[in-house]
A and B are shown apart, each in its own frame.
Chain A
Amino acid sequence: MRRLALLGLVLALPWLATARAAHGGDATGTVRGSVKVLKKGFFGRVGESDDRSGVVVYVTGYSEPPPREEATLAQQNERFVPRLLPLVAGQSVVFPNRDRIYHNVFSVSSILSFDLGQYKSSDPARSQTFDKPGLVPVYCNIHPQMISYVVVLENRAFALTGADGAFELRGVRAGHLALNAWMPGAQRVTRELDLPAGGALAVELELSATQTIPPHLRKDGTPYPPPPDYNGSE
């Protein structure tokens, strides 16, 4: 079962309101906070993970043009680095090969299907533009363990958490919007906010990455019994 709990404390401080009024017409604010990650321990116990990194926190509800610069998704040590790459729709990503060997970049996602072919590090790095928001998993057809999650977002209000789980989104357009957090293997957490212009909000989020297959009830609405026909495993 995935439990979603929002423990955030939302504070609107009066001096921030007066500051926004003083700046005059700049309708953005800041959202900051931290994300807790619940993971299943070695013995199956669910607990807070010490490593809260790798969570993308982003805002949905408005669109912004992409930045000019290209994002980089390197192929290094037979891994995609970073494993999770958030960017803004319309932004291009360059895929440099930093290994000695050949790599390939391709996706069969319905958001974006492409195949950049196989190339080595001395070849010019190839790039690809991601126009449509959504999750585009990127693979290498040579190395089965290589995967990167390219998260194509609507705007620039996003951040990746560090080990402490803290994030800070600046320049978030004020108004009614949704704050989301996601990481591979977890289900997205979303929180609706009303961000005043020039204001700042502190939000605590909790992300559960405890179960691969989401809880599921039988068609008659009852839970499954423990598998009776289960017959051995390894």
Chain B
Amino acid sequence: MAPRVRLRFRTKVWAALCGVAAAALAIALLIAQDAALGRARAETRARFDRTLAAFHELQQLRARYVSAEIDALSRANPQLRTVLSTASLAGEDLGLGGARPEDALHDANLRLQSALPSLALDPKLALFALADADGRLVFSRADPERYGADLRELGLVRKVGEGARATWIWLDGDAQVDGARLAPAYPSPALYLVRGEPVVFGDVVHGIVLLGEPLDRELLESLRAISGVDLALVSRGRAIATTLSTAQAAQLGARLAALALAEARPQPMAELQLGSERFLALRAELDPGTPLPDASFVLLTSLAPELAFVRDLRQTLAAVGLALFAVALAVGYALARGITDPLLALARAARRIGGGDLDARVEIATGDEVESLGEAFNEMAAGLRERELIKSTLERYVSKSVAAELLREPGRVALAGARRELTVLFVDLGGFTPLAEELPPEAVVAQLNEYFDAVCGAVLDQDGTVKEFQGDGVVAFWGAPIAQPDHAPRAARAALAAAARLDRLRERWSARGAPAPGYRIGLHSAELVAGEIGSAARGAYGIVGDGMNLAARIEAANKLYGTHVLSSGATHALLGPGFLCREIDHVRVVGRRQPVRLFELVALAGEADAHTQRRCALYERALAAYRARDFAAAAVVLAELPEDGPARLLASRARELEASPPPPEWDAILALDSK
């Protein structure tokens, strides 16, 4: 047999409680962690959005500011405007000869160089370049003496050349166009926000003004002061300007691939490890229009506070978890004990009952269902004990079928005294007592037991009730405690069966040399009171009535007649067919005025042989003659039955009466004076 893991209930309860506690804590941790990080993400997203909005707002403000600067330069200052226009128109070939366009550009460049010191230009606007209407460089602040470079390489210049105003962002590497430097050379590349505007007369472009400022750390720092978000401007795989530390900025460049600009709107955030710090990062376009392919904006927020919170939470929950395990242990122990202790007690009691100890009881006071179970168990044990007691008692006196019926339908049992017609059977061994005095007690007991077995078996076979043993006598009855309408035939059959059994028993006794006393059986049917008789403490189911005495007399009458089974006329009247009987006599017993007819119960009808039938017929003929005072005839008939006990007695009585005839009032009733 495979080994089976047997876990104690207590262990199971612990395991279940600890499991539930652990699961609850784990779920709580997950939810709290998720909520904390989710909140951090949501807050960060909102801050990012605000920062981006602020950045774009700032960008537009700067663009407007730069635009205003350009207006101031090109409109209020006649020099700039007219020099540009003239330079542009110098390129017009009207087929009239005149100055070369290069000379015109040179002249314009010189004029602008002269005018520059008086131009009220914000020094922040490091990128200041002018082109003619054909996109040729006229003047660049970063490279003042250069002119004529073809600025149409720049999309911005082409756009502005069509008359549009445009804002542009470029890396200063791009700002060197056709050999001309548009922005000052920085030690590292810088991103520029550049505004381009045309100089227009009527609807004709007469020149282009480019004005721009670098998007530098200073700008980002001012943004961070507002939003609290770290910022980086990235281009070509490196951070151009950032509020991060130099080391973090270098790492950011290496991790930009993880922050690719996605098609999704809004851009998804990503987590980024820079040094020992963890960041939530978002890469965004510099402007929500067409993206520059390699320049973008990275917003970062350190997750350090949120991660610290989660760490604290984990520690707290771990402590709570340990406490909960301890509590689970204690509660589990208590709970398990509340169940297992009563269960063990029940098991012990059940085993005791199984072992036959019906007095086993359990004491459970848990106040719950288990206590109910204990009470039910006790009731069950008490019930078992009661029934077992009743059954075992009953079965000794009544047949199993009657006992079962009694137990099954207690309603049919009228234990209280009630008058009812019963048939009573008395059995006795004749002359056993003097015999017993000569035998060892053990042999007597053994023989008595055999005798009782035989009688009681016959009684119980016919569902009779053994009332009591009186010495070597047995009293049994039918018709109580359950009603039996056929009580008389049952009793008669039992009497015949008992007689047969006793006959065989006597043969066995004789065969083994034991004394073989005769037996007597009397039957009588009468109205008797059957019921519990006795005190409340000790009582017995008994039968009381005059009929009992009569039954005993009838049994005793066997001695006189030498018969084995005698019944009263009352019983005989109830027998119905099926029995061979013969009337024996009409007697008056001591203490009873009412005479009683006596019948011998000979055999079951059909079982008697011809000889027996003849014997009965002859005897009844003789009895009839006797009662008709024809004593002589009776004697003649009786002479044919020399072996028959009643016949011999009747014959002797006939001879006596023949010798001295009775008075005329003779009623043929024999007074039985002996017991």
- Is A20 on the interface with B (CB-CB < 8 A)? no
- CB–CB B167/A234 < 8 A: yes
* Chain B 279-317: CB-based contact to A (< 8 A → 1; otherwise 0): 000000011011011000000000000000000000000
- CB–CB B162/A107 < 8 A: no
What residue of chain A has the Cβ atom nearest to residue B166's Cβ?
Answer: A233
User: Which segment, of A94-102, A177-185, A199-207, faces chain B?
Assistant: A177-185
- CB–CB B167/A108 < 8 A: no
- Is A134 on the interface with B (CB-CB < 8 A)? yes
- Is A141 on the interface with B (CB-CB < 8 A)? yes
- Is B89 on the interface with A (CB-CB < 8 A)? yes
In the bound complex, how far is the Cα of B96 from the Cα of A154, in angstroms? 8
* Chain A 61-84: CB-based contact to B (< 8 A → 1; otherwise 0): 000000000000000000000010
In the bound complex, how far is the Cα of B91 from the Cα of A187, in angstroms? 10
- CB–CB B81/A144 < 8 A: yes
Q: Whole-angstrom distance from the CB of A183 to the nearest CB of chain B?
A: 10
- CB–CB A231/B161 < 8 A: no
Chain B residues whose CB sits within 8 angstroms of the CB of A132 once the complex forms: 98
In the bound complex, how far is the Cα of B94 from the Cα of A107, in angstroms? 18
In the bound complex, how far is the Cα of B170 from the Cα of A17, in angstroms? 66
Chain A residues whose CB sits within 8 angstroms of the CB of B133 once the complex forms: 212-213
Chain B residues whose CB sits within 8 angstroms of the CB of A228 once the complex forms: 155, 293
- CB–CB A233/B86 < 8 A: no
- For chain B residues 250-300, which have a beta carbon within 8 Å of chain A? 286-287, 289-290, 292-293
- Is A232 on the interface with B (CB-CB < 8 A)? yes
Given A213-B162, A227-B155, A228-B155, are A110 and B99 also a contact pair (CB < 8 Å)?
A: yes
- CB–CB A212/B163 < 8 A: yes
Given A211-B162, A212-B133, are A229 and B98 also a contact pair (CB < 8 Å)?
A: no
- For chain B residues 72-97, which have a beta carbon within 8 Å of chain A? 74-76, 78, 81-83, 85-86, 89-90, 92-97
What residue of chain B has the Cβ atom nearest to residue A138's Cβ?
Answer: B82
In the bound complex, how far is the Cα of B99 from the Cα of A47, in angstroms? 34
- Is B224 on the interface with A (CB-CB < 8 A)? no
- For B94, give its contact among A83, A137, A182, A230 (CB under 8 Å): A182
- For chain B residues 152-185, which have a beta carbon within 8 Å of chain A? 152-156, 158-159, 161-170, 174
Interface residues on A, range: 35 or more
- Is A147 on the interface with B (CB-CB < 8 A)? yes
* Chain A 102-120: CB-based contact to B (< 8 A → 1; otherwise 0): 0000111111000000000
- For chain A residues 189-215, which have a beta carbon within 8 Å of chain B? 190, 211-214
In the bound complex, how far is the Cα of B88 from the Cα of A109, in angstroms? 10
- Is A159 on the interface with B (CB-CB < 8 A)? no
What residue of chain B has the Cβ atom nearest to residue A213's Cβ?
Answer: B161
- Is A135 on the interface with B (CB-CB < 8 A)? yes
In the bound complex, how far is the Cα of B385 from the Cα of A107, in angstroms? 138
Chain B residues whose CB sits within 8 angstroms of the CB of A184 once the complex forms: 202, 204
In the bound complex, how far is the Cα of B90 from the Cα of A109, in angstroms? 7
- CB–CB A230/B96 < 8 A: no
What residue of chain A has the Cβ atom nearest to residue B167's Cβ?
Answer: A232
- For A110, give its contact among B74, B82, B93, B104 (CB under 8 Å): B104
- CB–CB A135/B165 < 8 A: no
In the bound complex, how far is the Cα of B169 from the Cα of A147, in angstroms? 33
Given A108-B86, A108-B111, A145-B201, are A134 and B103 also a contact pair (CB < 8 Å)?
A: no
Given A108-B82, A213-B161, A214-B134, are A231 and B167 also a contact pair (CB < 8 Å)?
A: yes
- CB–CB A190/B95 < 8 A: yes
- Is B107 on the interface with A (CB-CB < 8 A)? yes
Q: Whole-angstrom distance from the CB of B531 to the nearest CB of chain A?
A: 119
Name, among A107, A111, A180, A212, the residue most crowded by chain B CB atoms within 10 Å (CB to CB): A212
What residue of chain B has the Cβ atom nearest to residue A79's Cβ?
Answer: B202
- CB–CB A134/B167 < 8 A: no
Question: Count the B residues whose beta carbon is within 8 Å of the partner chain — how many?
Answer: 60
Q: Whole-angstrom distance from the CB of B582 to the nearest CB of chain A?
A: 143
In the bound complex, how far is the Cα of B93 from the Cα of A188, in angstroms? 7
The interface residues of chain A, by DSSP majority, are classed as loop
- For A139, give its contact among B76, B78, B98, B164 (CB under 8 Å): B78
- Is A42 on the interface with B (CB-CB < 8 A)? no
- Is A8 on the interface with B (CB-CB < 8 A)? no
- Is A55 on the interface with B (CB-CB < 8 A)? no
Chain B residues whose CB sits within 8 angstroms of the CB of A178 once the complex forms: 95
- Is B135 on the interface with A (CB-CB < 8 A)? yes
Q: Whole-angstrom distance from the CB of A66 to the nearest CB of chain B?
A: 14
- CB–CB A141/B82 < 8 A: yes
- For B78, give its contact among A135, A141, A182, A224 (CB under 8 Å): A141
- Is A35 on the interface with B (CB-CB < 8 A)? no
- For chain B residues 89-133, which have a beta carbon within 8 Å of chain A? 89-90, 92-99, 103-104, 107-108, 111, 133
- CB–CB A188/B94 < 8 A: yes
- Is A33 on the interface with B (CB-CB < 8 A)? no
- CB–CB A109/B89 < 8 A: yes
In the bound complex, how far is the Cα of B133 from the Cα of A187, in angstroms? 13
Chain B residues whose CB sits within 8 angstroms of the CB of A60 once the complex forms: 95-96
What residue of chain A has the Cβ atom nearest to residue B153's Cβ?
Answer: A218
In the bound complex, how far is the Cα of B91 from the Cα of A137, in angstroms? 12
- CB–CB B163/A231 < 8 A: no
Chain A residues whose CB sits within 8 angstroms of the CB of B92 once the complex forms: 135, 182, 187-188
* Chain B 129-159: CB-based contact to A (< 8 A → 1; otherwise 0): 0000111000000000000001011111011
Which residues of A pack against B, CB within 8 Å?
60, 83, 106-111, 132-135, 137, 139-142, 144-145, 147, 149, 151-154, 178, 180, 182, 184-185, 187-188, 190, 211-214, 216, 218, 224, 226-234
Which residues of B pack against A, CB within 8 Å?
63, 74-76, 78, 81-83, 85-86, 89-90, 92-99, 103-104, 107-108, 111, 133-135, 150, 152-156, 158-159, 161-170, 174, 198, 201-206, 286-287, 289-290, 292-293
Give 4 new A-B contacts, CB below 8 A, not counting A135-B89, A188-B94, A233-B167: A137-B86, A213-B133, A213-B162, A231-B169
A-B contact pairs, 19 of them (CB 8 A): A60-B95, A107-B86, A134-B99, A139-B82, A151-B94, A180-B94, A188-B93, A212-B205, A213-B133, A213-B158, A213-B205, A224-B155, A227-B155, A229-B174, A230-B156, A231-B287, A231-B290, A232-B166, A234-B164
**Top 7 A-B residue pairs of the complex, sorted by shortest distance between their CB atoms:** A227-B155, A134-B98, A213-B161, A141-B78, A110-B99, A133-B96, A233-B166
